[in-house]
């Protein structure tokens, strides 16, 4: 399995979408996620593997969603504040990356984390304006 940072993966996806035109279309978003899915699963660290990306349209916004598989089997194996730590670290990484941050003008970024049994652990969406907070 390939290893790559989460920020690098999101950066590639965001750059591919934002680089296509001044306004990304749903089809472009799907094309990017389909292309990226060919490279998954991708281990990001000892505990996290990026397993799929997909696009959805919510109202007039595109949402690029990424699903991560955790090596843990349940919440009892996680820190009690694990979900908030994941969100905080992800938001910090997105906001620190100029290209990814710029892509938020066109697409929202959704992060979904599941346990080994595919049961949900946490999910959140980063939108344009979240980096200003």
Q: What angle do CA 36, 42, 44 make, to 5 degrees?
A: 120
- Asked whether the whole model's pTM tops 0.95, one would answer no
What's the order of all strands across the beta sheet hosting 107-114?
A: 2-3, 42-43, 48-58, 61-70, 107-114, 120-126
Burial class (CB in 10 A: 0-12, 13-18, 19+), 14: buried
pLDDT band for position 4 (cuts 50, 70, 90): very low
pLDDT single digits (tens) 52-105: 999 999 988 999 999 999 999 998 899 889 999 999 999 999 999 988 898 898
Q: What percent of the chain has pLDDT over 70?
A: 82
H and E: helices and strands count for the chain: 4, 6
Domains in the chain: ranges and CATH: 2-132 (3.30.300.250)
Taking CA atoms, 125 is separated from 41, 109, 113, in Å, by 21, 5, 12
Q: Average pLDDT, whole number, for the chain?
A: 85
């Amino acid at each position: 399995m390939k290893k790559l940072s989460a920020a690098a993966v999101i950066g590639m996806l965001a750059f591919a979408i934002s680089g296509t035109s001044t306004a990304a279309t749903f089809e472009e978003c799907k094309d990017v996620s389909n292309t990226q899915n060919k490279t998954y699963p991708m281990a990001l660290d000892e505990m996290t593997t990026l397993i799929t990306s997909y696009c959805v349209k919510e109202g007039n916004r595109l949402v690029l969603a990424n699903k991560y598989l955790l090596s843990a089997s349940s919440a009892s194996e996680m820190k009690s504040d694990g979900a908030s730590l994941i969100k905080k670290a992800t938001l910090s990484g997105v906001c620190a990356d100029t290209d990814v941050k710029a892509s938020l003008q066109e697409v929202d970024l959704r992060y979904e984390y599941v346990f080994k049994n595919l049961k949900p652990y946490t999910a959140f969406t980063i939108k344009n304006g979240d980096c200003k907070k």
